[in-house]
Amino acid sequence: MPELYTASDITRISGAAGADATREHGRSPFRKDYGRLLHAPSFRRLQGKTQLFPGTESDFFRNRLTHSLEVAQIAGGIAQRLNASNAQDYQIDLDLVQFAGLAHDLGHPPFGHNGERALDELMREFGGFESNAQTLHILAQVERKIVLDRDGVRRDDCGLDLCYRTLASILKYDHAIAFVRPAEADIDKGYYASEASLVETVKVALSQGHSGQFKTLECQLMELADDIAYSTYDLEDSMHAGFVTPLTLIDSLINDEGICATVLRKTNRSLLQNSYESVSFAELCEAAAGIFGDTGFGNGCSGAPDASELLKAALAGVQCFTVDRNLSTNGKWRTRFTAERIGELIGSVEFVCNESHPAFSTVRLTRDALIQVEILKHLNFELVIRSPRLAVVEYRGKDIVRDIFKALHGSNGSLLPNDWKGRYRLATNVSGAAACRVICDFVAGMTDRYAVEFHSAIAGEGASIFRPL
């Protein structure tokens, strides 16, 4: 069987050989990449970007940074389990898997989905905006690290100068976004034209004759971990915030035709992508109830075998209410619930080896686990993210992002901080599109709070001129 990692995997953007890292206290090339990410400004700024609920509301809620840490841990846990189970004849590199978990959300702009929509609308004629594409763009270009290329020449145009296999670990969509798109077009998932040449180089170096979908094993592990974390920990935050309870989730699935149709359609789409049989409405509802089954949901009549049918029904209702109340109001119960779910889902990952191209082996959740994950993902989106209370926050954020971009563009970059002005001047010598991309990169890198402060300053809302932008 071919090796999981080859010499081509550790070639860097600059052309330098990643193997040089072995001379630095025994660090592997992927461990070196992990360190570069951990110390990068774009990674630190994730602490100021909203995951689900604005950080200004409570210190309890997760932000993009804590979410990324959890994804990295889950991805590493899955890889460790696969390595220990001898499911494959090689060891998956944990540093590389955890890098993918830490980096996967780097490209998210302030204010979540609406911030992304605002930037994409502004950039439709200049290459678009999409958070996954922005992640690759940040790692390959926006971050500025001085490195030596293969000829010993100092360069600062290689991003973090990562290994090819490291870059591939966050390449979720093998698709180049069109440079110009219609005004009404949806957000296009892929990579920017500015990274097209690099992506092609990475694919040629890593494919080794593989002709199927280009998605590495590490990237798949990161995606699984992201889905597990999103469906479990965002649910915990939503219950803590009082937005949902187990009963309201199941009630909406059973009694809201619109939500049920959406969850059923999206779940079946995911099942199809993983080569599983589709799920029916009845099975979907049963799976939703099963999510809370280990906490006693629906098991309330076991202590009264001789009770009347009416009493049994009442006891079952009381038991459901008790579980619903405990998970909604008791942090210890929620922690137990989420910890058990994470463990169960990590144990539900299946490995399918690609013997000719191990780098493109497949990992996936079992069908039952996948259905439960999809239910929680889509219910949380419909009931929480699209709720009026969060919609107001995101709508306001969209206006802020749009106003900042237009002000920076209208000032010909004069409002940019000094270190970004240099980039803007160089970009204007290339094209107007390149200049817009610099502005887009600057705005996308803002934290939520910084965006609000910047917007206040340009709107003349009392910000001091002595406070630096």
Domain containing residue 174: CATH number:
1.10.3210.10
- Report if residue 200 sits inside a domain: yes
Residue 413 confidence (pLDDT)? 94
Q: Give the max Cα distance, the chain.
A: 85
Virtual torsion, Cα 81, 82, 86, 89, nearest 10 deg? -150
Question: 468: pLDDT confidence band, cut at 50, 70 and 90?
Answer: low
431 and 353 share one domain: no
Residues 404 and 353 in one domain: no
Are 409 and 363 within one domain? Answer: no
Last residue of a domain, one of 359, 386, 413: 386
Identify whether 454 is part of a domain: yes
How many whole angstroms separate alpha carbon 194 and alpha carbon 141?
9
Pairing of β 362-365 and β 349-352: antiparallel
Q: What is the spatial distance between Cα 339 and Cα 220, in angstroms, rounded to a whole number?
A: 22
Query: How many other β-carbons are positioned within 10 Å of the β-carbon of residue 204?
Result: 11
| Total number of domains constituting the chain | 3
Residue 338 included in any domain: yes
- Band of pLDDT at residue 164, cut at 50, 70 and 90: very high
Query: Of 339, 362, 386, which residue is a domain's last?
Result: 386
What is this structure's pTM?
Answer: 0.92
Cα distance between residue 178 and residue 354, in whole Å: 32
User: Are residues 347 and 308 both part of a single domain?
Assistant: yes
Please state, in angstroms and rounded to a whole number, the distance separating the CA atoms of residues 158 and 153. Answer: 12
The answer to whether residue 78 is domain-embedded is yes
Spatial CA neighbour of 92 closest among 225, 219, 217: 217
| CA 461/CA 216 separation, integer angstroms | 49
Could you tell me if 365 and 398 lie in one domain? no
Statement to judge: residues 87 and 193 lie in one domain: yes
Nearest residue to 300 (alpha-carbon basis) of 334, 263, 326:
326
Asked whether residue 56 is domain-assigned, the answer is: yes
Residues 186 and 263 in one domain: no
Q: Give the pLDDT confidence of 54-111 residue by residue, as tens digits.
A: 877 778 899 999 999 999 999 999 999 999 997 677 899 999 999 999 999 999 999 9
Q: Hey, what are 45's tokens?
A: 């700024």
Mean pLDDT of the chain: 90
Residue 464 lies in a domain: no
Kindly state whether residue 467 falls inside one of the protein's structural domains.
no
Q: Which residue has the higher pLDDT, 183 or 93?
A: 93
Domain boundary residue, one of 179, 203, 218: 218
pLDDT score recorded for residue 259: 95
pLDDT digits (tens, 9 = 90+) for 430-442: 999 999 999 999 9
Instruction: Evaluate the CA torsion angle 316, 321, 322, 326 in order and state its sign.
Output: positive
Could you list the residue range(s) of the whole structural domain that residue 380 is in? 242-386
Neighbours of 124 (CB within 10 A): 19
User: Does 399 have pLDDT greater than 90?
Assistant: yes
Q: Count Cα neighbours of 292 within 13 Å in the Cβ-side half-sphere.
A: 29
Which tokens is 366 given?
A: 């079992």
**209 occurs within a structural domain:** yes
